[in-house]
Amino acid sequence: MNNAGAIPFGLLPDSATVSSDGSLEIGGCSLLDIAAEFGTPAFVYDTDHIRTRCREAIEAFGPGRVVYATKAFLCRAVARLVYEEGLLLDVASGGELHVVRSAGVPASACTMHGNNKSVAELRLAISERVRHIVVDSFDELDRLDALHAEGLPAPDVLLRITPGVHAHTHEYIATGQDDSKFGFNLGNGDAELAAKRAASSTSVNLVGLHCHIGSNVFAADSYAKAAELIAGFAAPYELPELVVGGGLGVAYVTGEQAPTIADWAAAVAAGCRAAGVTSNVSVEPGRAIVASAAVTIYEVGTIKPIPGVRTYVAVDGGMSDNPRPVLYGSGYEAFLPRAPEAERPYAARVVGKHCESGDILLFDARLPADVAVGDLLAVPVTGAYGHSMGSNYNKVPRPPVVFAAGGEARAVVRRETIDDLLATDLG
């Protein structure tokens, strides 16, 4: 049986420490105590970790040049936190805009994304006076023409350009290749047609260009290539804004190495220099800000050895709080909060409680040999695209979100109740 060693602390939030009793603390708070107070499953975020990543991004790219991708994780508390740290926020729906605005973030700090914005969403974005609308299609330009004809003011817009760069990531989260539902294709001439139309339009104010090559990208040179292409295309238009998107990858499992935010900034700068462009360059990190800030705590409910096949360890969450393994085959590590420094020789597949064979959280987990029913099990690097992509499959209430800092833990999103499941059911 292979021994995976103890959980690498590099995968844990910055504040993770081992307490005097050998258990794990985050933000000065015991995970055992958090589970006792808030129950399981629960997302636990190190808020100082988030603040540190925000500051690193601003240091690398400059004030006003970092836009938090709210799709990675959004609630009012995190919207306020990143705004306090000087980040702008991008939203990809009217719902995300509503949550951000309800947190007290001004619309002037928001950028509106989306490949198929409705007329209602565009009307809301213009009426609220968001900073930019990122235009994704000719149909959207038609809708903006119609709204301007109704008397709405012409918004500042960026055109999303598809640069033809293949990011080395899962096909479902690659967005910069020619075959993409997003943006105006650079290779087939659509980008040029869109730029000429927008530049001459009275319905929009074209202020810049945008591109995004994908999510969880590990190759910094992909960003350099995309930046060079988009900067080169932008040069003749002399536009003041250039946004090269987000998607910077993070390490999820032992042995993975991801570029730092500083590495990312250097690659983007190199690409822009190669194109001879010195426009203001902005980025849209989401995963890089929040992913490794959080762990999810579960309780082990069933351990089922199948001789000659495998052992299943079932926990009280699953694909309803983290669908990434099901969608993308994403890998994770796991450990026991009571013993984070324990060796992990025990091979198992960690699964959830849902009625799907594909309800898998860790395909090939390594756990301490004494893992038992009733143990808490924690999965790190769950701060992005877990809570935000969660569901109520099997009518399972969604977990709470707990912020930990300075020895205090507080719920910023409460656990759903079974009565919440009836809130929209008209009977």
Active site residues: 355
Closest CA to 211 of 130, 108, 283: 283
In the chain, which residues fall in CATH 2.40.37.10?
Answer: 9-46+292-422
Whether 44 and 297 have beta carbons less than 8 Å apart is answered as yes
Measured in degrees and rounded to the nearest 5, phi and psi for residue 293 equal: -75, -15
Identify the H or E element spanning 361.
strand 360-367
Name residue, tokens 């990143």: 82
Q: What tokens were used for 55? A: 């500051």
407 in helix, strand or coil?
coil
Residues in the chain: 427
250 in helix, strand or coil?
coil
- Report in angstroms the alpha-carbon separations of 85 from 36, 56, 110, 419: 31, 11, 15, 36
- What is the predicted pLDDT for the residue at 172? 38
In the chain, which residues fall in CATH 3.20.20.10?
Answer: 47-290
Whether 97 and 91 have beta carbons less than 8 Å apart is answered as yes
The gap from C-alpha 302 to its chain's centroid, in whole angstroms, comes to 31
SS (H, E, C) 3-32: CCCCCCHHHCCCCCEECCCCCEEECCEEHH
Whether pTM exceeds 0.85: yes
- What is the predicted pLDDT for the residue at 279? 61
Question: DSSP per residue over 64-128, as a string?
Answer: T-BEEEGGGS--HHHHHHHHHTT-EEEESSHHHHHHHHHTT--GGGEEE--TT--HHHHHHHHHH
- What is the predicted pLDDT for the residue at 175? 46
Q: What tokens were used for 3? A: 């021994």
Distance, in Å, from the CA atom of 360 to the CA atom of 353, rounded to the nearest integer, reads 9
Tell how strand 67-69 and strand 88-91 pair up.
parallel
Q: Write b or e for each residue in 107-122: b if 16 or more Cβ atoms lie within 10 A of its Cβ, otherwise e.
A: bebbbbbbeebeeebb
State which amino acid sits at residue 231.
Answer: A
**Fold (topology level) of 47-290:** TIM Barrel (3.20.20)
Residue-wise pLDDT for 196-255, tens only, equals: 999 999 999 999 999 888 778 887 777 778 778 888 888 888 888 889 888 899 999 999
**278 CB neighbour count, 10 Å cutoff:** 11
Closest CA to 46 of 67, 64, 25: 25
Closest CA to 297 of 361, 354, 359, 364: 361
For domain 9-46+292-422, the CATH architecture is: Beta Barrel (2.40)
Residues in the chain where the model's pLDDT stays below 50? 1, 168-176
Q: Any long-range contacts for 304-310 (C-beta under 8 Å, 24+ apart)?
A: 310/347, 310/348, 310/349
Q: What tokens were used for 187? A: 């290779």
State which amino acid sits at residue 134.
Answer: V
- Report in angstroms the alpha-carbon separations of 252 from 62, 151, 170, 293: 27, 49, 14, 12
- What is the predicted pLDDT for the residue at 1? 40
